[in-house]
Amino acid sequence: MSGKLEAALARCRELTEDMSFASVRSHKEKTGDGAIGYFPVYSPLELYHAAGYLPVAIHGGGNQIEITAADSRFGSFICSVVKSTMELGMKGHLDVLDGMVFHDICDSARNLAWLFERNFKNKLFMEYFHLPQKPDDAAAAAFLAGEYERIYTKLAALRGRRPDLDALRKSIGLYNINRDLHRRLYKLRSERPQDVPTAELSLLTRAGGVLPVEEHNVMLADCLAGFEARGNKHRDGIRVVVEGSFCEQPPIELLELLDAVGCFAVDDDLLIGRRWFDEDLPVTGNPFAALAEAYMKSPVPSSVRHNPGVPRTEALVERVRRHKAQAVLFIYAKFCEPGLFDYVLFKDVLEREGIPHLLIEFEEKMWTFDKARMELETFVESQLFAYD
Ligand code: SF4
């Protein structure tokens, strides 16, 4: 591994595990910018960036914090990301933020937003917006553009700024570069999965949740060059599409297992919100309309949005074929309702198409991976044997 690539990945890991958000604090001190936290899955980061805030991904505490206070706010059967995000707030980890933005992905996230409002409204600016669920409705894009304009105007005013449309167009341009670099990294991973392990790719994307986009773009470009220069030997294994980790993120140790046992992911939906658009957005014209229309037209399938034109089941089969994958690996957070409801539908379609699949459930505070290792190894061996 090149020294530069190794150093960048080590930094990504450090940033990802740092629940004190020291890099965010330091960025605020250096630049005078504010910081806005956002909950997954998709959030219009361009609005926060252009209004003078560092967008900060808040998707739980991983295995870095103990849940001692947040349990009192929820029932037992709820995903970890909701509990640990509340815990981060209750323990003061999020005091570095000026505000927090949520949107409607599921009932658990909606409840979390209201709990934040109730518990932290004196510390944090709170915003909640609705992403339309009817992409074929002409009024939906106009509604969303109006929501974006409302939020941008409010955020800019809090920074004492006027809502500058050119600044917003410039931010769209920066995030276009970011998405394009992700597309190129994912393309390389599909072509040469042995050179771009899923855990490393995931760390790179996660680091973008706390780094300024300008710096993350440089990091992605450098790492892309580093991965391209690798020439790891081909190893026996199977090509899989990973589905189900669009919100709560699996422990990195679980993702490292995939490569270790020869389960090479050639596509995944980890932090899919960072890759929501498969084309650049226009950087001229009305930026609110550009962002809203891109969201409505995006063909990216996800369990947290309704897309009647592209059924998610058929889209999964298409991804398997496009990436020449041999199987699907479902990696779901425990108690993730949108994901686990879809699993039933996916499973039927994959069985109809003769595509093998395996389900692994995870939670943030997962310390032993022996069971997952055994299941993965058995699955890979059974497929290798079947394809010999
Ligand atoms: S992991 Fe699933 S259930 Fe939990 S907040 Fe995310 S989408 Fe909702």
Question: Could you tell me which of 136, 109, 144, 125 has the C-alpha nearest to residue 52?
Answer: 125
Please state whether beta strands 34-38 and 53-57 pair in parallel, antiparallel, or not at all (unpaired).
Answer: parallel
Whether omega before 41 lies within 30 degrees of 0, making that bond cis, reads: yes
Measure 6 CA to ligand 1 centroid, in angstroms: 32
Category of 281 on φ-ψ map: left (φ > 0), alpha (ψ -120 to 50) or beta: beta
CA distance 319 to 45: 26
> What's the pTM value of the predicted model, to 2 decimals?
0.95
DSSP E strand stretches across the chain: 34-38, 53-57, 99-103, 125-129, 238-243, 263-267, 327-333, 357-362
> What secondary structure letter does DSSP report for 288?
H
Residue with CA closest to ligand 1 atom 2: 336
């998707």: which residue's tokens? 59
Per-10-residue mean pLDDT, the chain, length 388: 88 96 98 97 97 96 87 87 96 96 93 95 92 85 96 95 95 98 98 97 98 98 97 91 96 96 97 94 97 90 82 95 98 96 96 97 89 96 79
Question: Which residues make beta-bridge pairs with 35?
Answer: 54
User: Which residues have CB under 6 Å of ligand 1?
Assistant: 79, 81-82, 105-106, 108-109, 247-248, 304, 333, 336-339
C-alpha–C-alpha distance, residues 203 and 189, integer Å: 14
pLDDT at 73: 87
Q: For all residues of the chain together, what is the average pLDDT?
A: 94
Residue nearest (by alpha carbon) to ligand 1 atom 6: 247
Tokens of 304: 């947290």
Atom 8 of ligand 1, nearest CA residue: 106
Q: Give the distance (Å) from ligand 1 centre to CA of residue 145.
A: 25
d(CA 247, ligand 1 centre) in Å: 6
Q: Given this model, what pLDDT does residue 138 score?
A: 80
Among 59, 81, 335, 362, the mutation site with the greatest number of ligand 1 atoms within 8 A of its Cβ is 81
Ligand 1 atom with the smallest distance to the CA of 109 is: 5
pLDDT for res 297: 87
